Chains A and B, each alone.
Chain A
């Protein structure tokens, strides 16, 4: 579904993404993981057409570079890291923005657009909040509004740039559960970037570990979330446990004179 070949991005003379090849099969969920500055977000933004890049990115065999903004928006919906939400805009109006690339002659909003937007708000449990201003909503509700907008775009590919930063653990699970449900319901292909390794491993079908702008490892979570890889590329001290077969990445404090205290020792 998504085929990235030889993608490279230079920002301010620095090569941030350096020859990435990645194939995301249709209907699957791939999460990009990697340390800060690895190039995850930049790669996502390149696919979304927000930064200039070399190499090719194809969706369904179509070279995205050949598409205008409108045609691209019908293929890819982006949930940005830090969405700008006009405080006085209502959820309804905001969700309708997702229809921008579908609007007809002279930007007329048709009955189909309002239907799709209404269905998207309902699917994310925002019906009762449809006329609420975005500025009056909680972080979790806002993130659901952003997802509703992306859903209203009716694109087969969903790009998630750190969708759960600034949410508490419950809201994080809620948002990811919603994405997982939508993905199965509508057969979406999802490409995301995320910092929380454990959550990424629990929800994604595949993980791509990126460091220095290149893909270091790509495969199912249990192949990528292994201690040597994570420790080396994040320069972190971690332990990887498995709960019900799913890898759980635990940060561990360095051995120090205090290591004798029970607090520092992780249970085996």
Chain B
């Protein structure tokens, strides 16, 4: 099985042993697994953040940045500040991108993992209920018809996303009263297909003045400084806290709606809360970053393949690895063709897909 470890195997083999020993062994084993993976996740995140600050077309050496960081610490009297230009590049251009990558990556991965849990569907992603289609149409229509400035694009995308998901949820609920996840998913598919079609129509009718939308549709973390980060941070961080708070309940949902109900979980309410919160976070994230695909599906799955299917572990690890993954993808996006930039969606798919394939082969291969 996934996440097998020597301690587990041993305690299973010594099955005839006394009650407490085997059980305590099992508990300690799963705790140490938890902490090992959390440490790995934090290490990956720190590495990704440092790489994001240090790497880029401007060629500022990590030592210079380290020295500048030291210089900012009070009382030590160490290090030396960077030049004005370098300082601007690192703290006003790169740092907001890194922060945005962390927030967006964490949100997409955690929202994806949560969607997979409440829909009990491994292919569920944060865009399942039409967030992407709604946001896309909102952004497109705002630029094409209202002619809003690019700065307002996130707000239009956010509004479109929320409208789409509310429509999908209402449609799904009206069919099954919230008891069936399938009708909810189908409602999402219907809403997304309809909105995508409308969006394609709008794009086709206004092909001259919708250029800014294309960049957004492909996904990008290029920001207008810290303002984008501060605008989405409250929504994104709030939704992350609520979703992580639900991680144990999501484990109960793994046994099915009826049994979760009989175990004391108000399934419909949990599903509504998780979907609403995950959607809000996702909508806030994509409104700024554009439609970055792949992170929401792949990161939780890679985590599951490596560390096991327990949501107590999957959600926090998705947060850490999703954040580091998007951060690293952005580093690649702005260095590979430097000084030109690749759309980050291209990078997440090009790097993520082979990575998933390798993990899949290694874990499944070693298992059977």
What residues make up the interface of A, taking CB atoms closer than 8 Å to B? 45, 48-50, 68-74, 76-78, 80, 83-90, 92-94, 97-98, 100-101, 103, 106-107, 114, 118, 121-122, 127-133, 135-136, 153
B255 touches A97 (CB 8 A): yes
- One of B19, B258, B263 near A98 (C-beta < 8 A): B263
B258 touches A50 (CB 8 A): yes
Among A83, A98, A131, the one with the most B-chain Cβ atoms within 10 Å of its Cβ is A131
The reply to whether the CB of B26 lies closer than 8 angstroms to some CB of chain A is: yes
Given A69-B266, A86-B309, A107-B248, CB of A80 within 8 Å of CB of B258:
yes
A122 touches B264 (CB 8 A): no
Residues of B within 8 A of A (CB-CB), count: 38
Bound Cα distance A247, B2 (Å) = 49
- One of B1, B27, B309 near A136 (C-beta < 8 A): B1
A97 touches B22 (CB 8 A): no
Bound Cα distance A135, B4 (Å) = 14
The reply to whether the CB of B251 lies closer than 8 angstroms to some CB of chain A is: yes
Instruction: Return A133 CB to nearest CB of chain B, in Å.
Output: 5
A127 touches B22 (CB 8 A): yes
Q: List 5 A-B contacts (CB under 8 A).
A: A71-B264, A84-B255, A100-B252, A118-B23, A131-B11
The reply to whether the CB of B223 lies closer than 8 angstroms to some CB of chain A is: no
- One of B20, B248, B261, B308 near A69 (C-beta < 8 A): B261
B1 touches A153 (CB 8 A): no
The reply to whether the CB of B310 lies closer than 8 angstroms to some CB of chain A is: yes
Bound Cα distance A128, B252 (Å) = 23
Secondary structure call for the B interface: helix
Given A86-B309, A129-B15, A131-B29, CB of A93 within 8 Å of CB of B251:
yes
**Given A50-B262, A130-B23, A131-B25, 9 more pairs with CB closer than 8 A:** A69-B267, A73-B263, A85-B255, A88-B2, A89-B310, A92-B27, A100-B263, A100-B264, A114-B27
A-side contacts of B266, CB under 8 Å = 68-70
Instruction: Return B306 CB to nearest CB of chain A, in Å.
Output: 13
Chain A residue nearest to B10 (CB atoms) is A131
Instruction: Return B265 CB to nearest CB of chain A, in Å.
Output: 6
Given A88-B309, A93-B310, A118-B19, CB of A132 within 8 Å of CB of B12:
yes
Bound Cα distance A77, B1 (Å) = 29
B-side contacts of A127, CB under 8 Å = 15, 19, 22-23
Instruction: Return B212 CB to nearest CB of chain A, in Å.
Output: 44
Given A103-B248, A131-B12, CB of A90 within 8 Å of CB of B259:
no
A-side contacts of B29, CB under 8 Å = 131
B1 touches A88 (CB 8 A): yes
Instruction: Return B241 CB to nearest CB of chain A, in Å.
Output: 11
Chain B residue nearest to A81 (CB atoms) is B258
Bound Cα distance A101, B248 (Å) = 12
A-side contacts of B234, CB under 8 Å = none
Chain B residue nearest to A72 (CB atoms) is B264
A48 touches B1 (CB 8 A): no
Bound Cα distance A133, B263 (Å) = 20
Among B25, B29, B309, the one with the most A-chain Cβ atoms within 10 Å of its Cβ is B309
The reply to whether the CB of B87 lies closer than 8 angstroms to some CB of chain A is: no
Bound Cα distance A89, B258 (Å) = 18
The reply to whether the CB of B249 lies closer than 8 angstroms to some CB of chain A is: yes
B261 touches A50 (CB 8 A): yes
Instruction: Return A173 CB to nearest CB of chain B, in Å.
Output: 23
The reply to whether the CB of B17 lies closer than 8 angstroms to some CB of chain A is: yes
- One of B12, B248, B310 near A129 (C-beta < 8 A): B12
Chain A residue nearest to B25 (CB atoms) is A131
Bound Cα distance A73, B267 (Å) = 13
A97 touches B262 (CB 8 A): no
A-side contacts of B173, CB under 8 Å = none
Given A86-B255, A88-B1, A101-B264, CB of A128 within 8 Å of CB of B22:
yes
A-side contacts of B22, CB under 8 Å = 127-128, 130-131
A-side contacts of B1, CB under 8 Å = 87-88, 133, 135-136
- One of A69, A86, A107, A128 near B17 (C-beta < 8 A): A128
Instruction: Return A207 CB to nearest CB of chain B, in Å.
Output: 24
The 3 closest A-B pairs by CB, nearest first: A128-B15, A101-B264, A73-B264
The reply to whether the CB of B16 lies closer than 8 angstroms to some CB of chain A is: yes
Given A84-B256, A88-B309, A129-B12, CB of A73 within 8 Å of CB of B249:
no
Interface string of B315-331 (1 = CB under 8 A from A): 00000000000000000
B-side contacts of A87, CB under 8 Å = 1
- One of A71, A77, A129 near B262 (C-beta < 8 A): A77
Chain A residue nearest to B13 (CB atoms) is A128
A48 touches B16 (CB 8 A): no
- One of B26, B259, B264, B310 near A83 (C-beta < 8 A): B259
B249 touches A49 (CB 8 A): no
Instruction: Return B255 CB to nearest CB of chain A, in Å.
Output: 5
Among B8, B15, B25, B259, the one with the most A-chain Cβ atoms within 10 Å of its Cβ is B259
Among B2, B8, B248, B258, the one with the most A-chain Cβ atoms within 10 Å of its Cβ is B258
Given A69-B261, A74-B264, A107-B249, CB of A121 within 8 Å of CB of B255:
no
B-side contacts of A103, CB under 8 Å = 248
Bound Cα distance A45, B258 (Å) = 9
Instruction: Return A154 CB to nearest CB of chain B, in Å.
Output: 12
Residues of B257-284 whose CB lies within 8 A of A? 258-259, 261-267
- One of B245, B265, B309 near A106 (C-beta < 8 A): B245
Bound Cα distance A256, B256 (Å) = 48
